[in-house]
């Protein structure tokens, strides 16, 4: 069954346009309360990032949940993985995050977590959507839910993050720049690093409701690169607006993406005899990472794009490490969902244990040149496979790239875009062919 509202990462869109409206969120809160709370006394926790529309949607969800008889625990600004963690530790029946992750401030969305702090399975999303189609009803007054503010949630989450690396691992002597993207981690991420002993320089920690992800954070790591050089830091950490992604920067200002970070931790755990199974990437994972893992005899498999699909593959395989080049990494022996702070700590632990700089840890992985061009979508996604012009161009491009090249066309799960991605040995050829293919896709489906 195809979802009506849920995409690959919850419900997301432009604020004020259906379904990202206050009235829809009111109905969504009631539907979620009916399906997830089942009229019980356990609460649903709600956290949010720093975008201005979060206030409106928080109130709407709270009202809808109360109308269904569900109690609500309000966390305020809290990273997405922090909400997942607190959903478990507060014994809630579900968690809700109001966030559009790495998108601009004028977008927003809703993510759900189960009582175990994991993304909802498809059948539960279907049940919520089915409830949304029913008339809005309110339980009797004596059964209505109550709401409360959780005052110590930041401190709880900070201690949890610190506990994901061994007690004896100290960050003393390290100078770290942390870019919080003016998002949900602006208080907790610098505190975690400082309390572990690092000298911390914080940027992107002045949210005003409008500047989240604005030329900063993991989607614009050049801002961090400049700051690392300016402060003479050993390393830089860039998080996204809701804190589930991380990109890092070495002492020279070079950007280290999610594929490289995943390889660093996998290789270190293999060396320590602590790697259980292999690594799950996605169809977008760089071929260079696959080759580097192969040299170490570390099994590797590709899942569809989206952390929920990486998570599903890891669970099915019984493995613990997976992720995407975007920095959405999963360490299932440390966290139930992607966590930018926890992921950064896994890399910092390797640096400390091996006594090596970040640049030294990336020497064994040689990324293939990869180009991605986003084409705004106005046509139907279904036309992507049926277009003769696109199919003919793809075949011609694949022929020119040869056996070491790859072509990937896919619709974004979070924005109205077609992502045109090419990978190959020759950087200039990859760029040329990517532009040619993007032009064809634009003429067929784009603006």
d(CA 329, CA 323): 4
**Could you read off the pLDDT of 345-380 as tens digits, one per residue?**
999 999 999 999 999 999 999 988 989 999 988 766
**Could you read off the pLDDT of 218-270 as tens digits, one per residue?**
999 999 999 999 999 999 999 999 999 999 999 999 999 999 999 999 999 99
Q: Determine the pLDDT at residue 383.
A: 63
Are 70 and 33 in contact by the 8 Å Cβ rule? The answer is yes
Q: Determine the pLDDT at residue 347.
A: 98
Residue ranges and CATH numbers for the domains of the chain are 11-152 (3.40.120.10), 174-255 (3.40.120.10), 257-367 (3.40.120.10), 370-445 (3.30.310.50)
Q: Is pLDDT at 198 greater than 90 in this prediction?
A: yes
**Could you read off the pLDDT of 4-24 as tens digits, one per residue?**
899 878 999 999 999 999 999
Parallel/antiparallel/unpaired status of strands 279-282 and 300-303: parallel
Task: List residues with catalytic annotation.
Answer: 101
d(CA 121, CA 92): 17
Parallel/antiparallel/unpaired status of strands 147-149 and 71-77: parallel
Q: Determine the pLDDT at residue 403.
A: 80
d(CA 314, CA 299): 12
Q: Determine the pLDDT at residue 39.
A: 54
Q: Is pLDDT at 101 greater than 70 in this prediction?
A: yes
Q: Return all residues near 338 (Cβ < 8 A) that are at least 6 apart.
A: 80, 81, 244, 245, 307, 323, 328, 329, 330
d(CA 129, CA 68): 15
* Per-residue buried b or exposed e for 414-444, using 16+ beta carbons within 10 Å of the residue's own CB: bbebbbbbbbbebeebbeebbebbbebbbeb
Would you place residue 385 in the very low, low, confident or very high pLDDT band (cuts 50, 70, 90)? confident
The mean pLDDT of the chain is 93
Q: Return all residues near 286 (Cβ < 8 A) that are at least 6 apart.
A: 259, 325, 367, 368, 370, 423
Parallel/antiparallel/unpaired status of strands 11-14 and 406-411: unpaired
Are 98 and 64 in contact by the 8 Å Cβ rule? The answer is no
Q: How remote is the C-alpha of 19 from its chain's centroid? A: 21
Give me the helices (H) in 183-332, please. Answer: 188-195, 222-231, 258-271, 287-295, 307-317
In the three-class reduction of DSSP (H, G, I as helix; E, B as strand; rest coil), residue 330 is classed as strand
Q: Is pLDDT at 446 greater than 80 in this prediction?
A: no
């Amino acid at each position: 069954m195809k979802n009506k509202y849920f995409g690959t990462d919850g419900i997301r869109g432009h604020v004020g346009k259906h379904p990202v409206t206050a009235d829809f969120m009111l109905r969504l809160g009631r539907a979620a309360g009916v399906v997830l709370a089942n009229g019980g006394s356990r609460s649903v926790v709600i956290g949010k990032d720093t975008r201005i529309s979060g206030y409106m949607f928080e109130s709407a969800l709270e009202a809808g949940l109360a109308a269904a008889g569900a109690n609500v625990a309000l966390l305020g600004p809290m990273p997405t993985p922090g909400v997942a963690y607190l959903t478990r530790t507060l014994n809630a029946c579900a968690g809700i995050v109001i966030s559009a992750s790495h998108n601009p401030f004028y977008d927003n969305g809703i993510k759900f977590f189960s009582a175990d702090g994991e993304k909802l399975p498809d059948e539960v999303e279907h049940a919520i959507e089915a409830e949304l189609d029913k008339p809005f009803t309110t339980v009797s007054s004596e059964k209505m839910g109550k709401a409360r503010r959780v005052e110590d949630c930041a401190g709880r989450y900070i201690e949890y993050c610190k506990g994901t690396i061994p007690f004896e691992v100290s960050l003393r002597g390290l100078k770290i720049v942390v870019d919080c993207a003016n998002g949900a981690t602006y208080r907790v991420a610098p505190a975690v690093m400082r309390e572990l002993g690092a000298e911390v320089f914080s940027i992107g920690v002045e949210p005003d409701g409008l500047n989240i992800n604005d030329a900063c954070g993991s989607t614009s790591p050049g801002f961090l690169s400049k700051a690392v050089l300016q402060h003479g830091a050993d390393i830089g950490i860039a998080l996204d607006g809701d804190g589930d992604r991380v990109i890092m920067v070495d002492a020279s200002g070079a950007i280290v993406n999610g594929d490289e970070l995943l390889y660093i931790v996998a290789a270190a755990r293999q060396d320590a005899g602590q790697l259980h199974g292999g690594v799950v990437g996605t169809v977008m994972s760089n071929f260079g990472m696959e080759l580097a893992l192969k040299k170490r005899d570390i099994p590797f498999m590709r899942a569809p794009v989206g952390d929920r699909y990486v998570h599903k593959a890891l669970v099915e395989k019984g493995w613990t490490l997976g992720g995407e080049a975007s920095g959405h990494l999963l360490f299932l022996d440390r966290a139930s969902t992607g966590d930018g702070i926890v992921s950064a700590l896994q890399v910092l632990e390797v640096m400390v244990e091996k006594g090596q700089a970040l640049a030294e840890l990336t020497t064994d992985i040689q990324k293939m040149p990869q180009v991605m061009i986003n084409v705004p979508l106005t046509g139907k996604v279904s036309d992507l496979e049926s277009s003769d012009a696109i199919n003919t161009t793809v075949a011609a491009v694949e022929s020119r790239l040869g056996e070491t090249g790859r072509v990937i066309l896919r619709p974004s799960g979070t924005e109205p875009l077609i992502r045109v991605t090419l990978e190959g040995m020759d950087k200039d050829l990859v760029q040329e062919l990517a532009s040619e293919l993007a032009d064809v896709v634009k003429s067929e489906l784009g603006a």
